[in-house]
Structure 1
């Protein structure tokens, strides 16, 4: 029996799929041109049905044995199903038929990269780059490989090439910002984005990234200006509003920040991060009811938002509801057990409740997690001092000084404890170190032990430094 071929010259993807499915139902053989087969394969790939897509490829190869594209499609499907050996085999066939096809080397490069064979990945991707008509995607992929290798300078070079090819590639702009961030080259980043904006003044992504770079250098006024330009170009750019709000917070312009955060709600649904940020602004304005309301909205949306639970605790603490605040501090701590701010708040709340043992244990945790927190060392030692354990509080301050050798506050406290313990010679030695560290802070000694103001030896030593 002769095979029944029907010729189809249409390029309408929907019609091609319908005709193909009719052919399968009828157990028949229709002829499709190569483009129609591509459309049908893409249809099944988009639907996430690799089995049917492979079946189409088999028909396509049978009818178009010299078309490399179907072996390339087959390789993509094998990559999708993680059958990498089969993918390589299909690519080998494609390469024999069409050795100058960029997609072959692009896919090979991506497979090698997934296997963490970076050099092989680069060899193939650079070969793809030579052959590709549109180079954006290949340049981006090469930059990703260099990022995975930790060579961010090389990644930057390829992202810049990508932008030279296509100034409107926003993904490349954002990746470039990320690389500059990792390299901590914010000045270079600013210089690049300013030059870019000279050529593309209406690129909202460039203005946004420029704003972020200014923000990281604590140039908050300039960052706000850049975010404003991004918003002017793209009115619904909610990320720019959010970051502008963050910059206003840094300038203590809390009410303005709240208004800007609220504007994000016009362009995207409210989220926990924004509610939490607004809560913090109201907290700074000492409007604790409003702050608590927004923190509660945040945890309602995201029960794992530790900062919002902590914020509720802060508002209660402000109202001297220390026992209630502890409950919320502990909820935050359960989500982030190594956060020194949470431990500090718990230590402080226990102290205010007169529970010195728990407070002491919490302060011990604060200085373990963050040994650079001078305030914590001072408070920790104070609690121990109140319990008249001079030996231990001297040890605590000594340990604090070991971690913060330039802190005059710790030296003056050390002097006070040594005098209280009767270690006068050591106290006078430490006093000289304290005075050398920061003479202006010598008043701290008398704040802690006022009776030392009557000690002639101490006064004489201080006077010799002030003169």
Structure 2
């Protein structure tokens, strides 16, 4: 008598593996083979799965389900032509089998023909009432196509079918987030929670949506309900801690972060948040303790190195700050944020050559933020390398052509470099951009504010702007 694979799947697998070892031939019904094959494929044991398919088809040569599993393996191995040929044979026998369309869609998807895959899955929908898996696959295809609106509705269908399918629920919210429809996400989750009031996952997601909209009190309430629904839900405690930080309730935030540490192995992110809370409270020794633990727990977490560096920088301990940022650079010298922080510290230490080099590294690694160009130009100005400062500002203005800050600074450096023509044009451009920021020029270059042509230009621009 064949074993019932649903009741005794482990016995079927053990019996099959025993057969392989002894070369004896045991009989299994086709459902047993399906169970065995699924077990091996789901666990990545493709060669054993293929062996089970081979023996299964020897015992049940007319089993369409086993042939469809063979198609799945062929598609996995990118043997698309053989897979399509076998599907043609199956379709001749059972033209209305939705699994044929699903497998054809899988083959098209693997070849990046996502619209063709969608069309096949839509055909499959008409052939069965059991549409959960098809809607899930459709959702993924729409995501591949960056069609988040259709993806959202496909995953919503999955949630309608099974409200405990949290994977689809997460995907629905992901689509709302991508579409920046936070109001829509909040409405959807509140509607879901009307039917599932103790779903900690939905409360957690609702809290994150409120947090994204700076609705911190509502977020706090949602995370409270998530914890009430599951008092071991670490993610809810962590997010609740972040909200309490935003509300300035640092001691309560610490309690929630400590709760996450007590429940499982501590994470670098929890240590980091604890460090920031203690620093806000003036508990500097505890802040240092947690920052050190952050980088010890995860040396690749750039936020940890930046936090411990910033901590010492704020304490005016520039040498210590430099020590830690250099440790970070030794671990990951391709991180532009590390180089930018190093440049800031070198500048504070009046080590202008190193600051110049650090800013060059920052830009070479892809950091083109406005203050990077402005601060780098300031370093070069202090060094007396006015030509390089001018080139840096010109480069920065390619990224920020409407920046009055960069333009006023460029005008002043032109003047310091005795380029009156360049200064006149640039200063006029800066005042046309933002006349109110003229004070930046006066503060940084007070020696030029009383120059006759400067005063005349300012007067002219003011008259034309009124």
Q: What is the TM-score normalised by the length of structure 1?
A: 0.80
Q: 2:140 aligns with which of 144, 147, 157?
A: 144
Give the number of aligned pairs. 460
Q: CA separation of 1:27/1:335 partners in 2, compared to 1, >3 Å: closer, same or farther?
A: closer
Query: Does the C-alpha gap of structure 1 residues 352 and 89 become closer, same or farther in structure 2, counting only changes over 3 Å?
Result: same
1:139 shift after superposition: 0.7
> Which stretch shows the higher mean deviation, 214-223 or 117-126?
214-223
Whether the aligned pair in 2 keeps the contact of 1:415 and 1:427 (CA below 8 Å) is yes
Classify 1:337/1:228 alpha carbon distance in 2 versus 1 (closer, same or farther; 3 Å). farther
- Secondary structure class of the residue paired with 2:68: helix
TM alignment of 1:326-365, pairs within 5 A = 326-334=322-330, 339-365=335-361
* Alignment-derived partner of residue 97 in structure 2: 101
1:382 to 1:158, Cα distance in 2 relative to 1, 3 A:
same
Matched, 1:373 2:370: yes
8 A contact 1:244–1:257 mirrored in 2: yes
Report 1:20-419 matches (<5 A).
Answer: 31-45=27-41, 48-251=44-247, 253-285=249-281, 287-334=283-330, 339-366=335-362, 369-374=366-371, 376-390=372-386, 392-393=388-389, 396-397=392-393, 400=396, 403-410=399-406, 413=409, 417=413
* Residue deviations 1:424-449 (CA, integer Å, cap 9, x gap): 89868766766665566555455435
Q: Which stretch of structure 1 is more off in the superposition, 327-336 or 119-128?
A: 327-336
Instruction: Give me the CA root mean square deviation.
Output: 3.9
1:118-160 C-alpha deviation (Å, 9 max, x unpaired): 2332233223323344322211111111211222222122122
CA distance in 2 between partners of 1:159 and 1:436 (Å): 52
1:4 corresponds to which residue? none
Aligned residues of 2:132 and 2:158 also touching (Cα < 8 A): yes
| Cα deviations by residue, 1:320-345 (Å, 9 ceiling, x for unpaired) | 44334223223434555565543332
- Identify which range, 280-289 or 109-118, moves more after superposition: 280-289
Q: Is there any run of 5+ residues in structure 2 with no aligned partner, and where? A: none
Cα deviation 1:11-37 (Å, max 9, x = unaligned): 542444555566667766554443344
Does the 8 A contact of 1:306 with 1:333 survive in 2? no
Cα distance between partner residues in 2 of 1:459 and 1:119 = 65
Structure 1: state its 5+ residue gaps: 1-6
Of 318-327 and 46-55, more deviation after overlay is shown by: 46-55
Q: TM-score, normalised by structure 2?
A: 0.80
Q: Distance in 2 between matches of 1:344 and 1:166?
A: 49
